[in-house]
Amino acid sequence: MNDDAHETFETEATDFLRMETLEQFIIERQGSFPHSTGAFSRLLRDISVAGKIVNRDMRRAGLVDIAGATGEINVQGEVQQKMDALAHREFVRALKRGGECCLIGSEEHAEAIPIKANSGDGDGEYIVLLDPLDGSSNIEVNVSVGTIFSVYRLPDSSVPPSLDAALQAGIHQVAAGYIVYGSSTMLVYTTGQGVNGFTLEPSIGEFLLSHPNITTPATASSYSINEGNYNSFQRGLKEYIKWMQISDKESGRPYSTRYIGSFVSDFHRNLLKGGIYIYPATTKSPNGKLRLMYEANPLAYIVEQAGGRASDGVMRIMDKQPETLHQRTPLYIGSKDMVLMAEEFLSGNRLHTD
Ligand code: AHM
Ligand code: MG
């Protein structure tokens, strides 16, 4: 490298220091909400701190004994990974310590967890629902995984927080986000004013605004689905898949399949590049596999804010009234035109030959 090139590299290598930190961004946004108490900003900070801790632990997988199963079966009847349990513990701990959250619902815990604030200035006013570590069976093979979170306000502060308070439709979310632990670690969230993404700069331990105002393409040429389940898909979905596989220069078909098997990672790629992610009803999972409250709703909020669409094939995900904490739903999520097209096939109004 000559001197000039070296200098350019040095400048680029420290350029990130000019980027806005997550904390600065939150504080700036907070100023635009009248009567803001800062409680929500503190809640987001608590979530990001837990994310950093989980990230740190995950980066040691393979070196210390944190990969693999705990030997427990979780409430979903699925094998619990050690990292699932660890991530659950870290998020619960951070939210308890922070004092802004009054109730947690987690994939790794059968019941909702009420929290008594210890700050002395009253109980927290936010409900946080989360999948502490989505796609965790991928950790052992060094594939990206993620945390998904959804935030609601406690509807009535005169009533002690309970599961009933948490069972709100997705349209009532006040914020939603995810952290993807990939080749870099990113936190992406929305409060209903667009979607912003922050990349963790490991040397200073800060999330920096790397992806402001994320929008998702209206259409694209890749789809994400576990096609091994093809035989048990409903007819309309089989037709849609066949249609995506037919050669057609004008529409860029055949589309490509991209399936990581880690929802956050598949979603993140599709959000940035465009695409559709589908987890439909199957014989094994007649209501779909993914959970409405802490997987589908938060990512539906994000995708809609980025210009995309999320439905269960028939109705908008965020309009669904939840009945239980761990309720499952079929899910079609991603680029708007692709989800609309899937819905058209599912309604029976279109065949792959059309
Ligand atoms: P998890 O929350 O227990 O990790 O399960 C959800 C995961 C998603 O991340 C992923 O998209 C899906 O399950 C993969 O399921 P399958 O192996 O049936 O394709
Ligand atoms: Mg999950």
Q: What is the structure's pLDDT at 187?
A: 98
Q: What sign for the dihedral angle of Cα 196, 23, 154, 85?
A: positive
Tens of pLDDT along 77-133?
777 778 889 999 999 999 999 999 999 999 999 999 999 755 444 568 999 999 999
**CA separation (Å) from 277 to 224, 266, 268, 319?**
5, 7, 10, 19
**Which atom from ligand 1 is nearest to the alpha carbon of 266?**
11
Q: What is the structure's pLDDT at 55?
A: 95
SS3 category, 178: strand
137 — phi, psi (to 5°)?
-70, -10
**CA separation (Å) from 58 to 54, 72, 82?**
6, 20, 11
CA distance 266 to 279: 11
Element (H, E) at 75: none
Our answer on whether the CB atom of 289 is closer than 6 Å to any ligand 1 atom is yes
Our answer on whether the CB atom of 224 is closer than 6 Å to any ligand 1 atom is no
Our answer on whether the CB atom of 229 is closer than 6 Å to any ligand 1 atom is no
Our answer on whether the CB atom of 196 is closer than 6 Å to any ligand 1 atom is no
Question: Rounded to the nearest whole angstrom, what is the distance from the C-alpha of residue 259 to the centroid of ligand 1?
Answer: 11
Terminal Cα-to-Cα distance of the chain (whole angstroms): 57
DSSP 316: B
Q: What is the structure's pLDDT at 7?
A: 60
Question: Which among 72, 144, 263, 295 is the best mutation to test ligand 1's pocket, defined by most ligand atoms within 8 Å of the CB?
Answer: 263
Residues of the chain with CATH 3.30.540.10: 3-211
Ligand closest to the CA atom of residue 261: 1
Q: What is the structure's pLDDT at 137?
A: 84
Specify the CATH class of 3-211 in words: alpha beta
CA distance 111 to 91: 16
Instruction: Answer whether CATH 3.40.309.10 is correct for domain 222-346.
Output: no
Question: Which among 290, 326, 329 is the best mutation to test ligand 1's pocket, defined by most ligand atoms within 8 Å of the CB?
Answer: 290
pTM: 0.92
Ligand closest to the CA atom of residue 79: 1
Exposed, middle or buried by CB within 10 Å (0-12, 13-18, 19+), for 205?
Answer: exposed
Our answer on whether the CB atom of 294 is closer than 6 Å to any ligand 1 atom is no
Q: Show pLDDT as tens, one digit a residue, over the chain (354 residues).
A: 566 666 655 556 667 778 999 999 988 887 666 567 789 999 999 999 999 999 998 888 777 776 777 777 777 777 777 888 999 999 999 999 999 999 999 999 999 999 975 544 456 899 999 999 999 888 888 899 999 999 999 998 888 899 999 999 999 999 999 999 999 999 999 999 999 999 999 999 999 999 999 999 999 999 999 999 999 999 999 999 999 999 999 999 999 999 999 999 999 999 999 999 999 999 999 999 999 999 999 999 999 999 999 999 999 999 999 999 999 999 999 999 999 999 999 999 898 988
Question: Rounded to the nearest whole angstrom, what is the distance from the C-alpha of residue 272 to the centroid of ligand 1?
Answer: 20
**Which atom from ligand 1 is nearest to the alpha carbon of 226?**
19
Question: Rounded to the nearest whole angstrom, what is the distance from the C-alpha of residue 339 to the centroid of ligand 2?
Answer: 21
Q: What is the structure's pLDDT at 5?
A: 62
Question: Which among 289, 299, 331 is the best mutation to test ligand 1's pocket, defined by most ligand atoms within 8 Å of the CB?
Answer: 289
Question: Rounded to the nearest whole angstrom, what is the distance from the C-alpha of residue 137 to the centroid of ligand 1?
Answer: 9
Residues of the chain with CATH 3.40.190.80: 222-346
H-type alpha helices, 274-347: 297-305, 336-346
Question: Rounded to the nearest whole angstrom, what is the distance from the C-alpha of residue 347 to the centroid of ligand 1?
Answer: 26
Q: What is the structure's pLDDT at 258?
A: 97
SS3 category, 42: helix
